[in-house]
Chain A
Amino acid sequence: MTNVETGKHQYAHHFKSAYHEFDSCKVGMWLFLLQEVLFFAPLFVGYAILRILYPDAFWEASHLLDWKLGALNTIVLITSSLTMALAVNASQRGLKDKSVIYLALTIILALVFLIVKYFEYTHKIHDGLLPASLYSYEGTIHPKTPLFFSIYFMMTGLHGFHILIGIGVLIWIMLRAKRGDFGTDYYTPVEMTGLYWHFVDLVWIYLFPLLYLIR
């Protein structure tokens, strides 16, 4: 909200200063990310347990994933983290145009990630490499291999959903940045989105080796 008289950001009535509000939002965002970690936790625990139980199945299944596409997506996401960080930096310094451009770049990279993921998924679906009860691929030997694909689709699906949410938020933030909502005195939403985006990238940094690189 912008104060009509001063043109500066109007902080909520229960805070003592704009910094007080910003600081509180930041604590809230970190707590949110903490619960996100635990939200993903059951999948990582499930992965660990199933992999310990059936190492051969995971080894076999991992070879059916294309590590090159995974690596490409890793590079795409890490780059998007960079553009996001630059967008936060630009808004902190009040550079409106730069901030909008970096946000747009982040959105484009996120879309590239999803497009690559789309091709990976269609390929898997075509081959019948699907969650356990739908699995119809005939080239695998280990009876537990289908479970890997259950975990694969759940983990990457949940992560992809977070990317999708992120794109929505980024578009909203970009439009606000374009409208001139942010300046040196107020850039909280950009910074919060940045924290979220780095978290989503970080999850992928773990997913990539765990799923694609079992050798």
Chain B
Amino acid sequence: MSGSAAETNYLNHQKGWKSWLITLDHKRIGLLYLASTLVFFLMGGVFALILRTELWSPNKIFLTADKYNQAFTYHGTIMVFMVILPLIPSALGNILLPMQLGTKDVAFPRLNLLSYYVYMLGAILALLTLFFSGLDTGWTFYTPYSIRTGTSTILVLAGAFVMGFAAILTALNFIVTVHKLRAPGLTWGRLPLFIWCLYATNIIQMLATPVIALTLFLLAMERVLGIGIFDAALGGDPVLFQHFFWFYSHPAVYIMILPAMGIINEVIPVFSRKNMFGYWGMAVAVFGIAIVSFVVWGHHMFTSGQSTTANFIFSLLTMFVAVPTGIKVFGWVATMYKGSITFETPMLYALSFLFVFLVGGLTGMFLATLATDVHLADTYFVVAHFHYTMVGGAVMAFLAGLHYWFPKFSGKMYSELPAQIACLIVFIGFNVTFMPQFLMGARGLPRRYYDYPPEFTTLHQISTVGAYIIAIGVAMTFWVLIYAIFKGKKASSNPWNAITLEWQTTSPPYHENFEVEPVVTTGPYDFHLLEKGD
């Protein structure tokens, strides 16, 4: 059968662009998501470069203050709602979840395709604002400004609302798939940790997204009907909007980071040739993070005027996040300890992740501390902190996963050395961009300002140079991968000698994933059994 396997796979079993647009194959839908999110990623990146270029010196270079506000709003909105939220769960998750579970597809394939189109509809609605009066609220849409501003807020609210539905549908689909469609022998204790992380992510998506959806709907109604619930002028409460917003948006940062952790969980044992240290600890920690994520939203609002008691409780609860997160980091390091580590690109990205995520996580503790937060709130320190977790965390891990699974879903090998160099460039560029922002923030420079005092010029310029270094690294990564798709060597079915199920079928896989339904007899990282030839 291996001879014919080379000929039919999910990429070529049906031909023509139409077969892609109406496909029900989870891998094709995953690729559609991947392509779309990457295009949006480049768009968001261009806005970031525009911002960094404008900040090269104080005063105006080429943007007016209004246009600057619009640029950071687009950068944030695109990157958060259209890129990082669906990047790992919907793109890589769609491709991999059914394969890691050893099943033919997700539980509801039509719902899966629908979620893609709903996502695209939302993204298009949000981007249409570019052709109207733009956006300048920041991605947080805080009232009362978002009620009063003359920009096309309703359109972007509709877009985010609709994209929320896509996330909910995907999450629902994945949760049912994990519960009902595991291969024989794939007990909960043998699930790859990527699945555990996606599962926890999906629970957050299911429970938090509806709240933001309705909140954004109410905000749109503020503009249309003047319902006044969030409008102090009509007797409502603008801080209530912030509560609702962060009730979603704080868990949402774990929608971004948990699947990223899942990828690191896969990459580190494989490239250390060692069983995951503390499998159950790692799995439970993910749920610890997911649960705590729902009760810490108030730490975004320490300076909003909420009560001291609330501040104290939220500060304390936020500290608890460090416990399960610490378990994860120790688990990864302990897995590498005495392993036979090799430094292929996915592992390099995973190591970069460990470093930057540690910085991002620890600076989070500074911000969770009430007294320091009063000084640091709304400064560049916050910007640097969440870029260290979202970009350094989520995007680095995404790139690790992209390289790790690239041979599987494309069937081609990328060239190792250029990819490693690109990784190094991204890593250096990232730190050069955001390290100076910690310094600027600690010295009190507020975020989101178009202008700044001249003594910050040097730090801002270092940061801008870093942004362009990242751009070079990302461009190189894209070039390496696109080159590999056309000119790359054919990948074997299991180039990394991994144990999880997706590697036990051809690269690229069949339309129905496996020739025969796999039966699982070992854990996902039992490399010691593999070496004994078991």
A40 to B217, CA, bound (A): 11
A49 to B107, CA, bound (A): 40
Interface flag for A24 (CB, 8 Å): yes
Give chain B interface residues in 136-178, CB to chain A under 8 Å. Answer: 168, 172-173, 175-176
Contact across chains for B107 and A28 when beta carbons are under 8 A apart: yes
Contacts of B107 in A (CB 8 A): 14, 24, 28
Contacts of A15 in B (CB 8 A): 181
A200 to B234, CA, bound (A): 30
Contact across chains for A46 and B176 when beta carbons are under 8 A apart: no
CB distance from B198 to the nearest CB of A (A): 15
Contacts of B227 in A (CB 8 A): 131-133, 150, 153-154
Contact across chains for A49 and B240 when beta carbons are under 8 A apart: yes
Contacts of A25 in B (CB 8 A): 108
Interface flag for A144 (CB, 8 Å): yes
Contact across chains for A28 and B211 when beta carbons are under 8 A apart: no
Interface flag for B226 (CB, 8 Å): yes
Q: Which of A13, A34, A133, A147 is the one whose CB lies under 8 Å from B206?
A: A34
A4 to B389, CA, bound (A): 54
Interface flag for A32 (CB, 8 Å): yes
Q: Which of B175, B207, B214 is the one whose CB lies under 8 Å from A42?
A: B214
Contacts of B176 in A (CB 8 A): 24, 27-28, 31
Contact across chains for A42 and B211 when beta carbons are under 8 A apart: yes
Contact across chains for A134 and B244 when beta carbons are under 8 A apart: no
Interface flag for A7 (CB, 8 Å): no
A13 to B107, CA, bound (A): 10
Interface flag for A127 (CB, 8 Å): no
The verdict on A31 contacting B240 (CB below 8 Å), with A24-B107, A38-B211, A132-B227 known, is no
A34 to B227, CA, bound (A): 27
Contact across chains for A146 and B234 when beta carbons are under 8 A apart: yes
Contact across chains for A146 and B214 when beta carbons are under 8 A apart: no
Contact with A along B501-531 (1 / 0, CB 8 A): 0000000000010000000000000000000
Contacts of A28 in B (CB 8 A): 107-108, 172-173, 176
Interface flag for B373 (CB, 8 Å): no
Nearest A residue to B236, CB-CB: A147
Contact across chains for B214 and A131 when beta carbons are under 8 A apart: no
Nearest B residue to A57, CB-CB: B235
Contact across chains for B218 and A42 when beta carbons are under 8 A apart: yes
Contact across chains for A131 and B235 when beta carbons are under 8 A apart: no
CB distance from A214 to the nearest CB of B (A): 18
Contact with A along B93-112 (1 / 0, CB 8 A): 00000100001110111000
Give chain A interface residues in 99-139, CB to chain B under 8 Å. Answer: 131-134
Q: Which of B179, B235, B240 is the one whose CB lies under 8 Å from A144?
A: B235
The verdict on A147 contacting B234 (CB below 8 Å), with A38-B210, A132-B226, A133-B228 known, is yes
CB distance from A124 to the nearest CB of B (A): 13
CB distance from B292 to the nearest CB of A (A): 18
Contact across chains for B235 and A147 when beta carbons are under 8 A apart: yes
Interface flag for A12 (CB, 8 Å): yes
Contacts of B179 in A (CB 8 A): 24, 27
Contacts of B209 in A (CB 8 A): 35
Q: Give the B interface residue count (CB, 8 A).
A: 39
Q: How many A-B residue pairs have CB under 8 A?
A: 117
Contact across chains for B228 and A147 when beta carbons are under 8 A apart: yes
Interface flag for B465 (CB, 8 Å): no
A133 to B148, CA, bound (A): 14
The verdict on A150 contacting B172 (CB below 8 Å), with A13-B104, A40-B214 known, is no
Contacts of A147 in B (CB 8 A): 228-229, 234-236
Nearest B residue to A41, CB-CB: B211
Contact across chains for B235 and A143 when beta carbons are under 8 A apart: yes
For B98, B109, B214, B237, the residue with the greatest tally of chain A CB atoms inside 10 Å of its CB is B214
Contact across chains for A36 and B103 when beta carbons are under 8 A apart: no
Contact across chains for B214 and A35 when beta carbons are under 8 A apart: no
Interface flag for B11 (CB, 8 Å): no
Contact across chains for A35 and B234 when beta carbons are under 8 A apart: no
Interface flag for B200 (CB, 8 Å): no
Contact across chains for A134 and B225 when beta carbons are under 8 A apart: yes
Q: Give the A interface residue count (CB, 8 A).
A: 39
CB distance from B514 to the nearest CB of A (A): 11
Interface flag for A176 (CB, 8 Å): no
Q: Which of B104, B168, B234 is the one whose CB lies under 8 Å from A133?
A: B234
Contact across chains for A14 and B236 when beta carbons are under 8 A apart: no
Nearest B residue to A39, CB-CB: B210
Interface flag for B286 (CB, 8 Å): no
Interface flag for B383 (CB, 8 Å): no
Contact across chains for B210 and A14 when beta carbons are under 8 A apart: no
Q: Which of B168, B180, B211, B244 is the one whose CB lies under 8 Å from A23?
A: B180
Interface flag for A82 (CB, 8 Å): no
CB distance from B256 to the nearest CB of A (A): 19
A15 to B175, CA, bound (A): 15
Contacts of B242 in A (CB 8 A): none
Interface flag for A207 (CB, 8 Å): no
Interface flag for A43 (CB, 8 Å): yes
Contact across chains for B229 and A34 when beta carbons are under 8 A apart: no
Contacts of B226 in A (CB 8 A): 131-134
Nearest A residue to B98, CB-CB: A14
Contact with A along B202-240 (1 / 0, CB 8 A): 000011111101110010010001111101001111001
Contact across chains for A50 and B229 when beta carbons are under 8 A apart: yes
CB distance from A204 to the nearest CB of B (A): 17
A92 to B105, CA, bound (A): 28
CB distance from A118 to the nearest CB of B (A): 18
Contacts of A35 in B (CB 8 A): 168, 172, 206-207, 209-210
Contact across chains for A132 and B210 when beta carbons are under 8 A apart: no
A132 to B225, CA, bound (A): 8
Q: Which of A49, A132, A158 is the one whose CB lies under 8 Å from B237?
A: A49
Q: Which of A27, A40, A50, A151 is the one whose CB lies under 8 Å from B180?
A: A27
A2 to B433, CA, bound (A): 59
Interface flag for A20 (CB, 8 Å): yes
Contacts of A24 in B (CB 8 A): 107-108, 176, 179-181
Q: Contacts A20-B180, A131-B227, A147-B234 known; list 12 others, CB within 8 Å.
A: A14-B109, A14-B512, A27-B180, A32-B172, A36-B210, A39-B210, A42-B215, A49-B240, A146-B234, A147-B236, A150-B228, A150-B236
- Pick 11 A–B contacts, CB within 8 A, sort by A: A14-B98, A27-B175, A34-B207, A35-B207, A38-B208, A42-B211, A42-B215, A132-B227, A146-B234, A153-B227, A154-B218
| Residues of chain A having any CB pair with chain B under 8 Å | 12-15, 20, 23-25, 27-28, 31-32, 34-36, 38-43, 45-46, 49-50, 54, 131-134, 143-144, 146-147, 150-151, 153-154, 158
| Residues of chain B having any CB pair with chain A under 8 Å | 98, 103-105, 107-109, 168, 172-173, 175-176, 179-181, 206-211, 213-215, 218, 221, 225-229, 231, 234-237, 240, 244, 512
